[in-house]
Structure 1
Amino acid sequence: MLIPAYRPLVRCSKPVLKHVKTWPEGAISALQDCFECTAWDMFREAATNGDSINLEEYTSSVTSCIGKCIDDVTISKSITALSNQKPWMTAKVRALLNSRDSAFRARDKATLRTARAELSRAIREAKRAHAKKIHSHFQDSGDTRRMWQGIQAITNYKTPSPACDSDASLPDVLNDFYARFEAQNNVTARKTTPPTDDQVICLTTDEVRNTLCRVNPRKSAGPDNIPGRVLRE
């Protein structure tokens, strides 16, 4: 009596398509050249009406120009990510997996034997490279950030996604709560006259440069969609 061979059940997850921007070599220099060649005064002149400057229009035009420069020097890529993918998985290993599966479906024993040997060799190399990368996180005991990154990589820790309230009426409740302040305000808005001893904020070039140098490039971009790496460079 033949016993059918069953394949073990593998927990599968749907692939997620992500769009990322990569910075090729020389992108920062090209971005700085683009900024130096841009006539920034024309944005202020376009937003000036008489003696007043439309700050929203001025900001929007400048950030749009910065975004256009970033798109010109960066390369956009679409990658497929799996939640249960092994951390040592590389593009070479993935290609050899496809080659092995193709040889198995074609019932080519010689090609399948070669593909299996190459796949095993590539997996060992990928695991060795991943272990070396993890080990590098603990070489400098003073860099606690890299140490925690190594621990997270070893334990496969991932930040859980925040739970979303399923109550669809919450936006309406918040709107009613904050709208009541507008309903009770009957005073007409008017521009106040600044006091005579009021001093206008003055910023020097060095102060702006020092502030931008303290920007953390690892954090996500703000509402203007300008990466921290661009501000810092």
Structure 2
Amino acid sequence: MLIPAYRPLIRCSKPVLKLVKTWPGGTISAFQDCFECTDWDMFRDAPTNGDSTDLEEYMSSVTSYISKCIDDMTISISITTRSKQKPWMTAKVRALLKSRDSAFRAGDKDALRTAQAKLSRAIREAKCTHSQRIHGHFQSSGDTHRMWQGIQSITNYRPAPPAYDSDASLPDTLNNFYARFEAQNDVTARKTIPTPEDQVLCLTMADVRKTLCRVNPRKAVGSDNIPGRVLMSVFTDIFSISLSSTVVPTCLKTTTIIQKNHHQEVSRVPSQ
């Protein structure tokens, strides 16, 4: 009786196609020039009637304008990601791998030898290019972020994934908890008139700019769909109006909670 040869089970993951926005060189400077020339008072005057400003319309017009500028100046491209892909892998090497496999399946020894030689040469070039890119992370001692990127690439450091609660009902529970503020309420809201001794919190442009500079531009965008790299001091006026009128715009009252395959958008701040 012939015993079939043992073959290890190989699990292959399918490539994932993603649509990402790229920021060409000089885009940030172009944003700064564009926003410096923008008449932000126009966005405030439109929803203002007397001493009252419709903060919801004010915030909506500003964020819509910023989003349009982002769409006009950035480029959307499709990229293919693969699980456990080598960092030096390129499209050229991947194409030569397919050519080598095709020659092997066809049984053409001459074509296989030629494809193998081209593949080896392309792999050496790809590894050399990747090595030069890694060395580039250490050229500037002042850029600590790039230095850490180089160290992580050399050591193949991958942070452990955070622990998640196995209870799949958690997003729904959080949604119900925060969304109760948006429930229909027949009681008329009454604002307490501040005493003369109380002073409304005032924000300066320097304070807002300092806080916005702490936002990591590489993080995903929030519910307002505005990247951290284009946050501007125009929000100083919006924040000041929000504090004085005790009203929070809708886009600042929502957040996104993601747990495994669950995706929920919930309210975080009461309307009044």
TM-score for both structures, normalised by structure 1: 0.74
Written as runs of structure 1 = structure 2, the 5 A alignment for 1:170-181 is 170-171=170-171, 173-174=173-174
Moved more, 78-87 or 21-30: 21-30
Moved more, 157-166 or 172-181: 172-181
CA shift, 1:118, in A, is: 1.6
1:98 aligns with 2:82: no
1:68 is aligned to: 68
Q: Secondary structure of the residue that 1:76 maps to in structure 2?
A: strand
Moved more, 223-232 or 115-124: 223-232
Q: Secondary structure of the residue that 2:80 maps to in structure 1?
A: strand
C-alpha distance in structure 1 between counterparts of 2:170 and 2:213, whole Å: 40
- Residue type at the aligned position of 1:90: T
C-alpha distance in structure 2 between counterparts of 1:182 and 1:91, whole Å: 50
C-alpha distance in structure 2 between counterparts of 1:9 and 1:69, whole Å: 50
C-alpha distance in structure 2 between counterparts of 1:175 and 1:119, whole Å: 53
CA shift, 1:217, in A, is: 2.7
Specify every segment of 5 or more residues in structure 2 that has no aligned partner in the other structure, as ranges: 234-272
1:122 is aligned to: 122
C-alpha distance in structure 1 between counterparts of 2:28 and 2:18, whole Å: 23
- Could you give the per-residue CA deviations for residues 32-89 of structure 1, whole angstroms, max 9, x where no partner exists? 3433454433322332244311222211221121011011111011111112211111
Residues 159 and 40 of structure 1: is their aligned pair in 2 closer, same or farther, counting only changes over 3 Å? Answer: same
Specify every segment of 5 or more residues in structure 1 that has no aligned partner in the other structure, as ranges: none
2:14 is aligned to: 14
C-alpha distance in structure 1 between counterparts of 2:176 and 2:209, whole Å: 43
Residues 99 and 187 of structure 1: is their aligned pair in 2 closer, same or farther, counting only changes over 3 Å? Answer: same
C-alpha distance in structure 2 between counterparts of 1:27 and 1:173, whole Å: 41
C-alpha distance in structure 1 between counterparts of 2:38 and 2:142, whole Å: 42
TM-score for both structures, normalised by structure 2: 0.65
Residues 122 and 60 of structure 1: is their aligned pair in 2 closer, same or farther, counting only changes over 3 Å? Answer: same
Residues 176 and 140 of structure 1: is their aligned pair in 2 closer, same or farther, counting only changes over 3 Å? Answer: closer
Q: Is the 8 A contact 1:217 1:232 kept in 2?
A: no
Q: Is the 8 A contact 1:213 1:232 kept in 2?
A: no
- Residue type at the aligned position of 2:96: L
C-alpha distance in structure 1 between counterparts of 2:176 and 2:111, whole Å: 69
1:26 is aligned to: 26
- Could you give the per-residue CA deviations for residues 72-125 of structure 1, whole angstroms, max 9, x where no partner exists? 111011111112211111222123223334444555554443322121011012
Q: Secondary structure of the residue that 1:217 maps to in structure 2?
A: coil
- Residue type at the aligned position of 1:13: S
1:227 is aligned to: 227
Q: Is the 8 A contact 1:215 1:228 kept in 2?
A: yes
CA shift, 1:172, in A, is: 5.4
Q: Secondary structure of the residue that 1:114 maps to in structure 2?
A: helix
Moved more, 43-52 or 66-75: 43-52
1:113 aligns with 2:113: yes
Share of identical aligned residues, percent?
76
CA shift, 1:181, in A, is: 9.6
Written as runs of structure 1 = structure 2, the 5 A alignment for 1:117-196 is 117-137=117-137, 145-171=145-171, 173-174=173-174, 189-196=189-196
C-alpha distance in structure 1 between counterparts of 2:14 and 2:159, whole Å: 19
Moved more, 162-171 or 109-118: 162-171
C-alpha distance in structure 1 between counterparts of 2:48 and 2:162, whole Å: 43
Residues 169 and 208 of structure 1: is their aligned pair in 2 closer, same or farther, counting only changes over 3 Å? Answer: closer
Residues 36 and 145 of structure 1: is their aligned pair in 2 closer, same or farther, counting only changes over 3 Å? Answer: closer
Residues 186 and 204 of structure 1: is their aligned pair in 2 closer, same or farther, counting only changes over 3 Å? Answer: closer
CA shift, 1:18, in A, is: 2.0
